[in-house]
Structure 1
Amino acid sequence: MYKHIALLVRKEGMSHDAFVDYWQTNHTPIAREIEGVVRYHTVLPADPAASEFDGVAELYFDRLDALHDALGSEGSRDYDPAKGKAKEAREDVDNFLDIERRPRFIGEEFVEKDVTGGDTTGLYKHSAFLVRKEGLSHEAFLDHWANEHVPLAREIPGVVRYTRVVPTDPEASEFDGVAELYFEDLDALRAGLGHESSRDYDPDHPKARAPREDVDNFLSIGDRPRFVGRETVQKDETGGA
């Protein structure tokens, strides 16, 4: 499936609580009905005070052209759909989001591990927005990620679902990929990946240490936004896939 991921920053002058209330109460019912959307997730920060963003919104589509029709191309932030729920949702974001500070990512999702049965509501998720190491091509980055890093990341203690999202248009993308690791509770996530505000976590467990050490081989750590939050599936017409 194809996925649009938006890292959300609230409008200036709005509190985080007011942002969450508006997003969940006003915007989500609109976003669920955007033409072509087959699955929709919202992710709220586990620790808002330590988070770089106020939330993450994820819209899934069966086809890339359906995604572009509804949400625009990778490089477009000012897309103005002509009609329907896509138009209504685009107009509504101005009521609660800082558009200029909202990174977005369009990619194809690859499920590398899943013991959840597809129901991720209530799970805690670590989303890492990946930027490749200087001097590494995007193709070499993808090769290392898929063939060297994924086998290590799948074995991190506590991981119940692991997905990679690969950009459909790398040249227009702000990131080289998104890695999503799910855990049943926040303690398990922190044991495997560290605290929300920590980028220099040095785990003791060998199966958590190995992927942490490997990131230095292909990622620019300082340029990698990360988000730790609790996910809610707001819509699912995929059968839990």
Structure 2
Amino acid sequence: MVKLIFMLKRKDGISPQAFREHYEGSHVKLAQKYIGHLLERYVRNYPLQAVLNPSNQSQDAGTSPITSEYDVITEMYLRDALAVQEMSRIFNDPDINPILVEDELKFLDRASTLMLVCDQVDTGTV
């Protein structure tokens, strides 16, 4: 299994609520349409609060809430590297790419998008 994490920011002038509504109502549907057959899981995480150094409980050491740099952290789980390659091929298809880009331009700060390919380690339920 390959896990991709996308760190996404909203474009200037878009409220957090409008960002989320567009992402869930439009972009997620495009992803499901074009690459849904490749996804084992597709999860969006919308930060509610960010705390700097949460293990440090002193009042003067960064325990007050801070603003998250990203508006959503998206996780995509794909079966294997071949599925990732196929996803990339689809995203770059000359007929599909303009559709995705047009939608992204409506709500994303595309220059700030960060994609991480992860090796996930799961310790199970604690």
> What TM-score comes out, normalization by structure 2 length?
0.71
- The reply to whether residue 184 of structure 1 matches residue 79 of structure 2 is yes
1:140 aligns with 2:18: yes
Shift of 1:130: 0.6
* Greater strand proportion: 1
The residue number in structure 2 matching 1:203 is 93
Is residue 229 of structure 1 aligned with residue 109 of structure 2? no
* Distance (whole Å) between structure 1 residues aligned to residue 7 and residue 26 of structure 2: 18
Letter in 2 for 1:172: T
Q: What stretches of structure 1 of length at least 5 have no aligned partner?
A: 1-122, 195-200
Q: Separation in 2 of the partners of 1:148 and 1:165?
A: 17
Aligned mates of 1:163, 1:191 — CA distance in 2: 20
1:236 is aligned with what amino acid? G
Q: Distance in 2 between matches of 1:134 and 1:164?
A: 21
Shift of 1:150: 1.4
Q: CA deviation at 1:204?
A: 4.9
Separation in 1 of the partners of 2:102 and 2:124?
A: 36
Equivalent residue for 1:193, pick from 88, 108, 111: 88
- List 4+ stretches of structure 1 deviating above 6 A: none
Matched, 1:215 2:104: yes
Aligned length: 108
Give the distance between the partners of 1:236 and 1:205, measured in 2 at CA: 42
Alignment partners' CA distance in 2, 1:166 and 1:231: 20
1:172 to 46, 67, 73: 67
**3-state SS of paired residue (2:28):** helix
Deviations 1:44-102 (A, max 9, x none): xxxxxxxxxxxxxxxxxxxxxxxxxxxxxxxxxxxxxxxxxxxxxxxxxxxxxxxxxxx
Gaps spanning 5+ residues in structure 2: where? Answer: 51-65
Structure 1 length-normalised TM? 0.40
Q: Partner residue of 1:153?
A: 31
Give the match's secondary structure for 1:154.
helix
Q: Which amino acid aligns with 1:202?
A: N
Residues 109-153 of structure 1, C-alpha deviations (whole Å, 9 max, x = no match): xxxxxxxxxxxxxx1122110111121111110110111111222
CA, structure 1 residues 179+211, in 2 after alignment: closer, same or farther (shift >3 Å)?
farther
Distance in 2 between the 1:204 and 1:191 partners? 14
CA-atom RMSD, angstroms?
2.5
Does the aligned pair in 2 maintain the 1:192–1:203 contact within 8 Å? Answer: no
Q: Aligned equivalents of 2:98 and 2:119: distance in 1? A: 24
Contact 1:129 1:226 in 2 (8 A): yes
1:189-210 superposed Cα distances (whole Å, 9 cap, x missing partner): 122136xxxxxx623574x774
The one-letter code matched in structure 2 to 1:225 is L
